[in-house]
Amino acid sequence: MKNLLVLFSLALICLTPATAQGLVLARAGGYELTRNELEPALELLKFLAQAPLSQTDIQAVINESIADFRTGPQELKTALNDLQKVYGAAQTTTDPLQLGDFRQKVIGELYLSVKDLPPHKIPDYVKILLTKAPVVAYDNNTKVVLTRPDLNACLRYMQQMNEFKGTALSQQDLNTAAQEVIAGFTQIDPETQKLLASGTVLLGVYKANFSQFSEEQKGATKSHFRDTVGGPPSNVRVRGPVEPEPTLTARLSTDGLDFHQALMKSIQSQGGSENYWSLSPKIEE
């Protein structure tokens, strides 16, 4: 656990720091470990997994931390203090793609640190993360990791944007695209890989804004988006061979980033925000 916290202390992520001393969990070497000192690690785990933590999950992290504290109290305390120092830096990350990229990098480091370990050697912290956000693809060249929740969320995000555009995507389209992405992830360009890996953050930002918008704002956002990216393809018949419609996977590479940027601008045109932290998207089961 302490090694993981050292890694996290190098990362720029913002979570609410705990200031109260709280319940003392353990004492060793003249140091105390309090419950509140573990809150940042627990909040980070929830953010990385994009899933709520059960009481069993929380207790497993606490038990693991107590065990590490008793064998190396100063090391764990130093790592926790370092982690608190970097909270504010991530608060300035208002671009959801940058935040999503940061998140996938941390997940990728943790995934690589344990992927060759036997199950009983994997720290509970990482085991909980990879259970809630299982890795379905990893590119050794770009170092981008894709989890199942992010893949599903990004495809739903694309589905929603295509709906605004006037192009319907079926569940079969999404299922086929998911299979294609997993099988060909290393062939996808790096920027689209990062878009896919940021799926939960991007979908969360969109949903948080729309949950606060009036029906009038929602309609104006959709109109603004459609005016920006264009409407559905024309149904006018043409002579000669007809080019087949590109797959959703292909459209992710050609349109994904443009659609995302257009939707963020459309949301902001109605007073919305792309700042994940100020929106505090609801993390669902």
Task: Give CA–CA dist 16/39, Å, rounded.
Answer: 8
Task: Give CA–CA dist 103/44, Å, rounded.
Answer: 10
Q: What is the pLDDT of residue 40?
A: 84
The stretches in the chain having pLDDT less than 70 are 1-21, 82-91, 232-246, 284-285
Cβ–Cβ < 8 Å for 208, 279: yes
Q: What is the pLDDT of residue 82?
A: 66
Residue 228 token pair? 């920006």
Q: pLDDT tens across 6-42, in order?
A: 455 444 333 333 343 479 999 998 989 999 988 888 8
Q: What is the pLDDT of residue 282?
A: 83
Q: What is the pLDDT of residue 168?
A: 83
Q: What is the pLDDT of residue 249?
A: 78
Q: What is the pLDDT of residue 22?
A: 74
Q: What is the pLDDT of residue 26?
A: 94
Identity of the residue numbered 116: D
Q: Has this prediction a pTM greater than 0.75? A: yes
